[in-house]
A = this chain, B = another copy of it.
């Protein structure tokens, strides 16, 4: 087993000082031609690579960024992580991924684990538990220590930091408008419990579109489902009662379930009922019929968040506390669950 070689080893072997080796390997002008070549050759031969940990300790820079997401099985978060990875890697950063599993406690624990020197900054999306608790002290502690933080998608006004979101109001507005323009009269909304910031925004867009078109907002056309453990019966009962001619879902999965329920009731999609979901994921793409969706551009969001974070990390002036919120434009991807 070839153990890792250190500067000390090289220095001993070549009978020079550690400092000389360090400088020689950085090609410092300070060191003479011969010595430099000798050291560099030796280092190459033994495949010397500096120890990241030692460098991190010295520089107080780890070149790691911490990403805390509620889940990684959901397509949207997956694409965001991929976007972060892509940008960060190109910049020489590693990505440490932690899953909060929608739990406030896990989110806190993960933050604390990483906040003690493991990372240069955080990118995160709030867990359901955190949004429910409305408790952001862990975020505050981190930012107060001067650790850069970028929130994406599920964000909060309580914390001053960089943020990147899509215009959820607009996305829902456009989707609803599209349904109205098709001539739909009874547009149901499948949404989540109210503590999710994104759902609130999407609800708002839905309502605004209705109002702008002179349509009435009927509370009985809105179904607020618990986020986890989807109960198909709830959706089924709701849709059977409402008998909508269009459905807007604030996520992908409710949309898929909704479509299936309606099809089972003998409704044809999109002839009898149009459906639009959020999150342009694999399910939407491969559903039958494919699901018209509001694309959240997760990968772009991830890249943007990573860029914002790394810019912040690498800028010396941390006093420049002019935090920015980047708002990405959603895109309505028209597929076969709506009429051309």
Residue interface bits A82-98, CB-to-B below 8 A is 1, else 0: 10011001001011111
- The complex is assembled from copies of this chain, and their number is 2
Cβ-defined partner of A117 (8 Å) among B52, B64, B82, B92: B52
Report the minimal beta-carbon distance from A324 to chain B, rounded to whole angstroms: 19
Q: CB within 8 Å of B: which of A197-252? A: none
Tell me whether B98 and A96 are in contact (CB under 8 A): no
Tell me whether B72 and A72 are in contact (CB under 8 A): yes
Whole-angstrom CA separation of A209 from B117 in the bound complex:
55
Interface residues on A, range: 35 or more
Tell me whether B1 and A145 are in contact (CB under 8 A): yes
A-side interface residues toward B, CB under 8 Å? 1-4, 47, 49-54, 56-57, 62, 64, 71-73, 75, 78-79, 81-82, 85-86, 89, 92, 94-99, 106, 110, 112-118, 141, 144-146, 256, 260, 263, 282-283, 286-288, 318
Q: Please give me the 5 A-B residue pairs with the lowest Cβ-Cβ distance, nearest first.
A: A51-B117, A53-B117, A52-B117, A288-B288, A97-B97
Q: 10 additional contacts, CB 8 Å, given A4-B116, A52-B118, A86-B99?
A: A1-B318, A4-B117, A49-B116, A51-B57, A52-B117, A72-B82, A95-B97, A256-B286, A263-B288, A287-B288
